[in-house]
Structure formats: C-alpha cells, structure tokens
Amino acid sequence: MTVEIKKEIKQRYGKIALSGNSDRCCMPGECGANASPIKAAGLIGYDAKDLESIPQSSILGVGCGAPIKLADLKEGEVIVDIGSGAGIDAFLAANIVGKSGRVIGIDMTDEMLEKARKNAVDGKYDNVEFKKGDVEDNIPLSDHSADAVISNCVINLAIDKTKAFKEIHRVLKKGGRMVISDLITSKELQMHETNSEQWCACIDGALTKENYLDAINKAGFKDISVLDERTYMEDDADRKITSLVIKAIKE
C-alpha cells in the first residue's frame, strides 16, 4: 500500500504541474479544473498583493493555509520549503530573505521540480534552488543547516509522520523553527481502510490533532503551538477535516 500511495502522489501532482491547476478541492466551493488557483490561494490566506510579486505559474491552487505569513522570516535566513511544488512559498520566502538569504525547495515530483526551476529562471531568483527529496526518507541537506522550515499541506501525505518530522528537526539549526500548515481529522482511518486517491487529497492519511502534535513532540520539537485553526470540510465519511498552522522550535 505504501508503494502504491507514493506512486499515486507522484502521478497526481505531476499532472497538476503539467496542467497548471489543481484537480482536487483546495477549499470548499473551489473544486475542479475550473477553479481559479489565485482565488483558491486567497481563500486559504495568501495576500493578493504578495501573489502579484511572484511568477504566476507557481500558483497552482493547492494547500490548506498560508504558513509563510506566520513564519516571521527575516532577511539573510536560510529557509527550506518541504513539498515546494511549483515554488509559490519558496518565491514568497525569497522576497523576504533577500539576496543575503537562501531558499531551498524540496519536492519528490519531477514535473513539479522542472516547473519550479523554470519559474526561478524566468523570475531571476538567484537565491532559490529546488532539490529532489522525500521528507520521510532523506531531505538532501546537511544537519543544522536551516533557520526555518515551512510546508503547506504536505506532511499529511507522508506514511510515517514522526519520521518526517525527525528529518525536519535534523536539518534545522539549534533554535530554528518549523511553521507548517496541514490538515487533521476527527477520526483516523486504519491503513486497510484508506485508498490512494483520498490519501493524495490529504484526507485519508490525516491524523487527529492529538496524534499530529504528538508526532511533532516525538521528533524532538519543543514549544509546539497552534497559530491558526479553522474548519476545512466535512467529508463523505462524516469526518470533520480541520486545517492548522503549527509552529515548533528545535532547542
């Protein structure tokens, strides 16, 4: 099942990269191929003026929040974006950290990486690079190399969330912070109850709030706090899906 899920994730997000739009619900009422990626981004918290400042093809209408708004990024910092997609958060971060800073996007989908790299060239972002990697297996960065890690609705695609958070913890500097947006559920499913399509839609792999925060704690993070919490959707199985923005510190 694990191999099937990973394969489905790569195929699905590869198609999104090629089409330039999401084929899943990003927010209630913003579903399908006719949904506007920019409008969907606005609904989950992105500022329209900020979006105008980055390559428009980096905005795909995926995600469940805007953690970058709460990450308190600073000029000169090294930022890592997990599941960077076409580069929306990486480019927004690059505008903040400036030429003295650096942003590294990590994604496991070849089509997304190709699109993001083209966007970086077209937008003349010399302080951004994109690398292939899987947060569960190995983020291709050295220990203690990042000031902050950001991620938008990606960790819940991982099979082993604690393992993913341990990798994020590894690459952060002492005192570094993780600020991520993700989905939680009122009722978890056992692996045999899930299907790969719903997992890729960030639903079937979601944990409860208690278990999600516990996975972060087990990875070694401290000062874990929920910065934003809002209802995302009710699914067909009567599960309440909630989006969170979470901050945690590496001591």
Domains and CATH numbers, the chain: 2-249 (3.40.50.150)
Who has greater pLDDT, 28 or 155?
155
Parallel, antiparallel, or unpaired for β 102-107 and 128-132?
Answer: parallel
Q: Which structure tokens are listed for 91?
A: 């480019």
Cβ atoms of 50 and 30 within 8 Å: the answer is no
What are the pLDDT digits (tens) for 171-190?
Answer: 999 999 999 999 999 888 76
**DSSP code of 111?**
H
- Helix, strand, coil distribution of the chain in percent, nearest 5: 35, 25, 40
d(CA 132, CA 117) in angstroms, rounded, equals 11
Tracing tokens 């600020």 back to the chain, one arrives at 179
d(CA 164, CA 108) in angstroms, rounded, equals 14
What are the pLDDT digits (tens) for 193-232?
Answer: 555 555 555 666 789 999 999 999 999 999 999 999 998 8
pLDDT of residue 36: 80
Question: pTM of the predicted model, to two decimals?
Answer: 0.90
Cβ atoms of 77 and 97 within 8 Å: the answer is yes
